[in-house]
Structure 1
């Protein structure tokens, strides 16, 4: 099951677990759509993999399976 991280690890923007703004790679590095495209050209700065839209978790399942509350930030050169 995806962690559904709550923020962009570049700009720290909040990302809803049932929204369409999050982009992830196969390692679940998480970015907002703006950073993924404008700063990283659709490539994960951590692993080089594709950043794709994260699937939304249906609202009916969020109570039982909430997204992660742990915020992740990483010092990417493009985020300074």
Structure 2
């Protein structure tokens, strides 16, 4: 199951699981569109590609909730 992280690791922007605009690498590092663009769609942690994160419907979040652990470190 894909971990739907709640924020951008670089700037802390909220990234709800049901909304578009999040980008992830194969390790599920998560960034907002602006930061992914600034990083040239390359994960600074592993060097992998950043791709659009799929959304999870609000109905499916009941059974499979998104993570609440924030990863941004100012």
TM-score by length of 1: 0.87
- Computed over aligned residues only, the root mean square deviation of the Cα atoms, in angstroms, reads 1.2
User: Residues 37 and 10 of structure 1: is their aligned pair in 2 closer, same or farther, counting only changes over 3 Å?
Assistant: same
| Divergent runs of 4+, >6 A | none
TM-score by length of 2: 0.93
CA distance in structure 1 between the partners assigned to 2:70 and 2:3 by the alignment: 11
Q: How many residues align?
A: 74
CA distance in structure 2 between the partners assigned to 1:70 and 1:14 by the alignment: 12
CA distance in structure 2 between the partners assigned to 1:66 and 1:52 by the alignment: 21
Any idea what SS the aligned residue of 1:34 has? helix
Note the residue ranges of structure 2 that are not aligned, 5 or more in a row.
Answer: none
